[in-house]
Structure 1
């Protein structure tokens, strides 16, 4: 099926309005203290960015992924656009703008934990007109918007409003966490912060299920349809205005947690776009996130749908 035919006949599309970066990652026994140099074990240069990672996860999950973003005119640009295309992501609305592409500098220790400095660069050139053109082309064949906070907030907000007006399910991954305009929450169907992001946004320190529920209620009290707080090995908690549901983590050995949240968001959006119910979609997202931490890197660690389904089957069997 050609890309054009796919757009015309499929209605499982996910619009992803977000960032694309070149991820420069170092791996070391531990992270250096301030002013210290440590010797590392490995280095990778791969396609990343929360938007790109989520788009690839959507495509790997089997749904139509429409990326809306910008890359630069530097040496990294072909790596980024070719990587998206090879993963099956539609890049008709990825613009090339003068200057450098976005960069993420990632450091990973032997436990798999990481820290990241993301420099937006070309991502800051995204425009409302570019977003409008993508919605005009793909809103009718899509069911879900995925967006994050690595692009200018005004444009994230614009995409959310367009998606809400178009009847799409809006999923906001509020990362990196920053103070947001409260008027946006009634337009968000599902917000997916981890513990750190939920703590920063709500002022409620999330350390356990009770504090996660309290943070979730902060979002729903402001109009969000659902708050889905992810807590790594403690699983995830879904909070709506009337209910709370806990999803246990799938135990795995973590190698690198980079892009786990993006795998989660991408698989969640793809499953909802295919018409799955929210509970089943979250279970698929949990399995995708679990598999992602078992591999190094951002986009290279994102799992195939068959692997996600196999892990779910294995986990279901172990539970009985």
Structure 2
């Protein structure tokens, strides 16, 4: 089947720092680089490297042709990436010596998608295809409504967290992926535990503690340990996990097996510096000694 990913495309401007700065503090960077990023682009690359046919729905400015070309090189279908008047989105990312990061986003072209852009992309979708989205673009609710009407499986990575955005799409979701902080924020917003949400499958990533899968149909709640590695950069690890999780499900894997595949991909990812450009492929995962 095909994964249609409504997702952001960013230029990641990465700065290596000894520690994340405090308020009012100035730190000298020990390294700097530019790479392809954005939660959407990261997930599309992960899906492609996991062997999926992924159609990216997004937008760049006239300064973003390099990003579209790179996505194409990585195996992503880029026919429905629009070029708009706004500048390409970008992110300033600080990564400290322990691999933790702090990120400031400028959305730019990511918020300039039109309904016509999305309808053109979904014209090729069929029942059983997957529709993936995050919170770094506009038009999530209208796009998910259109995709749901087509019989697509709706998968939502609720990041960056926005309670109103989650509420707008919650009734349409088949799979919800969020991290522990986002899960706590959502529970505070809705006033009850996430186990009571009207979403069949919920996956909560727990960083070094692994992840939790909740199936609300059966009441099953399973914890999966993280694979122990020494991290150097956590940027894009969650996106890699989500992309590989959906890739596994798209290939017909049961949820437990798809989570295992996604966990291996994320474990490799945190040992590398960068985002989309360094996401592992299936050969990397097969050869890794984890």
TM category (shorter chain) comes to over 0.9
What corresponds to 1:161 in structure 2? 145
Q: Which runs of 5+ in 2 are unaligned?
A: none
Match of 1:130 in 2: 117
Match status 1:232 vs 2:207: yes
Unaligned runs of 5+ in 1: 1-11, 205-214, 316-320
CA contact (8 A) 2:127 2:150 kept: no
- Name the CA distance, whole Å, in 2 between partners of 1:99 and 1:194: 30
Which residue among 146, 156, 163 is the counterpart of 1:172? 156
| Structure 1 runs, 4 residues or longer, greater than 4 Å off | none
Cα-to-partner distance string for 1:106-160 (whole Å, 9 max, x where unaligned): 11100000011111111110112211111112x12862121100012xx111222
Q: 2:78 aligns with which of 81, 85, 91?
A: 91
Superposition RMSD in Å: 1.7
Find the partner of 1:219 among 182, 194, 197.
194
Q: 2:240 aligns with which of 263, 285, 304?
A: 263
**Larger relative helix fraction:** 1
Measure the CA separation in 2 of the matches of 1:219 and 1:149.
Answer: 19
TM-score, normalised to structure 2, is 0.94
Cα separation, 1, equivalents of 2:127 and 2:140: 20
1:142–1:273 contact (8 Å) kept in structure 2 = no
What TM-score does the superposition give when structure 1 sets the normalisation length?
Answer: 0.85
CA separation of 1:219 and 1:165: change in aligned 2, threshold 3 A: farther
Corresponding residue for residue 209 of structure 1? none
List per-residue Cα deviations over 1:217-268 (Å, max 9, x = no partner): 8334231111111001100000122110111111111010000011011111
Q: Report if the CA contact (8 A) 1:15-1:142 is conserved.
A: no
**Quick one: distance in 1 between partners of 2:188 and 2:286?**
36
Between the aligned partners of 2:49 and 2:128, the Cα distance in structure 1 is: 16
After the TM superposition, which residues 41-190 of structure 1 pair with which residues of structure 2 at under 5 Å, given as runs?
A: 41-74=30-63, 77-137=64-124, 139-140=125-126, 143-152=129-138, 155-180=139-164, 182=167, 184-190=169-175
